[in-house]
Amino acid sequence: MVINRRQLSTIFERFHTALLALSCVDRKSFPSLSAQSTILFNNRNVIHSARQFSSKETVTITYVDPSGDEHPVEAEVGQHLLDVAHAKNIELEGACGGELACSTCHLIFDKDVYDTLPPKSDEEEDMLDLAFELTETSRLGCQIRVTKEFDGIKVRIPNDGY
């Protein structure tokens, strides 16, 4: 039987709800379960996120915010740059939750890094068309996974004037 992502997410959710109901678990007292439920909320990529627990390799990536301030963070290899930003409290919107239905996670790369990135799908290009302050080295953060080669790179969050 072919099962789609949403159905899988629904199944995980129902299991999780049942677990919570049975054990009357308070998220506060069970931080590891909190992390789990946060991951289950990430409808976009349940399987990928579950894998995150086992992968510990990290590289240093610096997010440069619109005012020019730099925020270096330890990013897990394999995670999408949008998820890294949210995990590390960097202010980057991701209105559609990473499903290529908006351009709010738009990031600007240095040319040499941009050239090494995997090619854009039509769908990513379509959304980039609507991005504010689009550049020649722009990509959507929800489509770019951290690799080992990203160690030391800087990514810029476009300046919307505020």
Partner 1 sequence: MARPSLRSFVESRSYSTHDSCTVGKRRLHNSAAVTDSPITHGRRRLRAVVVGSGPSGFYTAKYLTSSVNKRIAADRETATSSSSSSTSSSSWPFSGIDIDILERLPTPYGLVRYGVAPDHPEVKNVENDFAAVPGNTHSRAHGGGTVSYFGNVDVGRHVSLSTLSALYDVVVLAYGCQSDRGLTIPGLDLRGVLTARQFVNWYNGHPEFGYVADIVREALWDRDGNNAGDVDDADNGAISKAKAVVIGNGNVALDCARILAKGRRGLKDTDVPSSVLDVLGDGVEKVVVVGRRGHVQGAFTIKELRELTKLQKEGYDVSFRVRQEELDMGMTEASLQELQLASGRPKMRIDALLREAAATTEEEGEGDHEAPTKTIELRLLMNPIRIESNNNRNNPRVHHVIFERTQLQGEPGKQLSVGTGQYEKISADLVILSVGYKGSPLEGMNENMFDSQRGIVVNNQGKVCGDNNLFVVGWIKRSPTGIIGSNIMDAKETVASIMKYIDSNPQNLLALHEDSDDDLSKGSRGLIRHLEANNVKYVTWDQFLQIDQAERDRDRLRNDVQPREKFLSVDEMLACLQSTC
Using CB under 8 A as the binding rule, whether residue 23 contacts partner 1 is answered as no
Using CB under 8 A as the binding rule, whether residue 41 contacts partner 1 is answered as yes
Are residues 156 and 135 in contact, defined by beta-carbon separation less than 8 angstroms?
no
Residue 134: both structure tokens together = 């689009």
What is the Cα–Cα distance from 100 to 84, expressed in whole angstroms?
17
The size of the interface with partner 1 (CB under 8 A), counted in residues, is: 45
Residue 106: both structure tokens together = 């738009």
Euclidean distance between the first and final Cα of the chain, in Å? 50
59, exposed or middle or buried, with CB in 10 Å at 0-12, 13-18, 19+?
A: middle
Using CB under 8 A as the binding rule, whether residue 50 contacts partner 1 is answered as no
DSSP string, 24-50: T--TTT-HHHHHHHHHHH-GGGHHHHH
Shortest separation between residue 144's beta carbon and partner 1, angstroms: 18
Q: Which of 75, 102, 142, 144 binds partner 1 (CB under 8 A)?
A: 102
Q: Which stretch binds partner 1 (CB under 8 A): 26-34, 51-59, 72-80, 109-117?
A: 26-34
Q: Which of 51, 53, 101, 121 binds partner 1 (CB under 8 A)?
A: 101
Using CB under 8 A as the binding rule, whether residue 6 contacts partner 1 is answered as yes
Between 41 and 117, name the residue whose CB sits nearer to partner 1.
41
Using CB under 8 A as the binding rule, whether residue 68 contacts partner 1 is answered as no
Task: Tell how far CA 161 is from the center of its chain.
Answer: 24
Summarize as ranges the residues that interact with partner 1 (CB under 8 A).
6-7, 9-10, 13-14, 16-17, 20, 26-28, 37-38, 41-43, 86-87, 89-93, 95-97, 99-104, 122-123, 125-127, 129-130, 132, 134, 160-162
